[in-house]
Amino acid sequence: MTVLVAYNDSPQGEAALRAGAAEALRRALPLAVFVLTPLEGPPQEDPPLPPDLAHLLDALPEGTPVATVTYREARVDPPVAILDEAERLAASLVVIGSRKRSPVGKFLLGSTTQRVLLDAHAPVLVIKAKH
């Protein structure tokens, strides 16, 4: 059982990471960070953390149990990748960031948040970034 955070380098990703860390502490569960930006180049055994993520992880409250950091494969769509990772980890909570979109924007472009909400087997916490 883990708290899975879908992270990208954005205000929404940062808000999701902070909320996920708070939930992991509250539930006494490990935090798994799933980076939505795929790694460039050949697969690596232990890739370095993106600088923005490393900084945010260092700033998490003391005692936050960060278990894993994994990365999305470039060929897999973000919502599918999030759902697969949540299932692989048997996540007890999935935390994702969201941004405001118009109804037409959601219709034309689809919505990662909407797909995860509808298809996840675990509860999903959707966080909006503060502006």
- One digit per residue, the tens of pLDDT, for the chain of length 131 reads 899 999 999 999 999 999 999 999 999 999 999 999 987 766 667 788 888 999 999 999 888 888 899 999 989 999 999 999 999 999 999 999 987 766 665 554 458 888 999 999 999 999 988 75
For the record, the structure tokens of 115 come out as: 């797909």
pTM to 2 decimal places: 0.88
In the prediction, which pLDDT does 48 show? 81
What are the distances in angstroms from CA 100 to CA 81, 106, 117? 22, 10, 16
Helix count (H) and strand count (E) of the chain? 5, 5
